[in-house]
Structure 1
Amino acid sequence: MKFYHSSKWIQVGIIAAMAAMIAPQVFAQDAGARIGAVNVDKVFNESNIAKQSQAKIEKDFSKRQNDIRDAAGKIKAAAEKLERDAPVMNETERVRRQRELAEQDRELQRKQREFTEDLNQRNFEDRAKIAEKANIALKQVAEQKKLDIIIQDPPYANPKVDVTDEIIRVLNSLK
């Protein structure tokens, strides 16, 4: 086995030693950093703009949702009626009604998919608008409290660094 004593290994050793000496100084400088934490879900659920957005979405989509629910009820009732009447129906009539029921079910499923896609799209668009305004509020809170960084959804944050309620308050005051 050969050992290589190149200048490369010596340089690596010197760099590692220097890093070990400098690291405590870097951490000492960062110890003065002011940190805040924000719970994003709370902002999206408890701010006035989020509540208004959710209420508007529910209002805008409630009719379609009720229509889909009603159509599902009618299809279920028709399927139950077909099941009861099938023994006394002729083959042609039974097959025709089964096809009609299958077509109605496919149409209902298509409407449900479109409803879900439209609802998801609307939620995405509204959340983007809320996020844009929340970022303005976040920056205002960071400047007011002279914070260097605000961490979103940390696994743990001491309550004294949590600025979520302040961000919600500023967000609620924005026009």
Structure 2
Amino acid sequence: MIRSSLLPLLLVSIATSAPIVAAEMRIGVIDANRVVEQSPQYEAAGAALQQEVAERERALRAQQDEITKLQQRLERDGPLMSEDELQRLQNDIRSRQRRLKYAQVEFQEDFSLRQNELRTKLVKQVQEAVVELANEEQIDLILSEGVVYFSDRIDLSDQVIERLRERFRSR
């Protein structure tokens, strides 16, 4: 426990040493959203995700088209069908609608999961590039989220984006 008589001396000591520490410290800032959105990894991840989901989207649309055709048949031919035929067609439509709804929910969950996996991977790559830049440029502190203002002089976003481009090209 610090004695109350030593507290003012300690505070003066900290206050007078703080400017010295601050004068030696190098600080940088990155705009994380801009870095992510302008990185080639982001574009590649988006294209890969789109390619992954395209086939499933086509399959879901095909299922929906089949249901629509069956509903049109029900409206058109329903009055002419026997009670058993009508019941089978209605049951088939309901069954297909349930399967489609389940498939859509599953697709959305898979899409979200894959999107999060790709984002996590990209965030890790950005973080590695930032740490590498900080070490090379001897920067002590790099801020990102929650910064209200920063000057272009300490904005490292372009340098991080360029490192990400270099890494992407070297893959």
- The amino acid of 1:168's aligned partner reads I
Distance 1:155 1:105, change over 3 A: farther
Structure 1 equivalent of residue 37 of structure 2? 45
* Cα displacement string for residues 7-34 of structure 1 (whole angstroms, at most 9, x for unaligned residues): x9x93x3354345323422531343222
Shift in Å, 1:52 = 1.1
Of 138, 157, 162, the residue aligned with 2:155 is 162
Q: In structure 2, what is the equivalent of residue 63 of structure 1?
A: 55
The match for 2:101 is: 109
Distance 1:92 1:137, change over 3 A: same
Q: Aligned-pair distance for 1:171? A: 0.9
Per-residue Cα deviation, 1:90-132 (whole angstroms, up to 9, x for no partner): 5443333222111111111222122223222322332233233
1:37–1:153: 8 Å Cα contact kept in structure 2?
A: no
Contact 2:39–2:161 (8 Å) recurs in 1: yes
- Closer, same or farther: CA 19–109 of 1 in aligned 2, 3 Å: farther
Gaps of 5+ in 1: 1-7
CA distance change for structure 1 residues 89 and 18 in 2, over 3 Å: closer, same or farther?
farther
- Cα deviation code 1:38-68 (max 9, x no counterpart): 2222232221122112111211221111221
**RMSD of aligned alpha carbons:** 2.7
Change beyond 3 A, Cα 1:82–1:29: farther
Q: How many residues align?
A: 166
Q: Are 1:171 and 2:161 matched, yes or no?
A: no
Give the share of equivalent positions with the same residue, in percent.
Answer: 24
Distance 1:26 1:81 in 2: 84
Match for residue 145 of structure 1?
A: 137
Equivalent residue number for residue 65 of structure 2? 73
Task: Quote the offset at 1:85 in angstroms.
Answer: 4.8
Q: TM-score w.r.t. structure 2 length?
A: 0.78
Number of the residue aligned with 1:14: 5
Take 2:37 and 2:54, find their aligned partners in 1: how far apart are those partners?
20
Task: Structure 2: state its 5+ residue gaps.
Answer: none
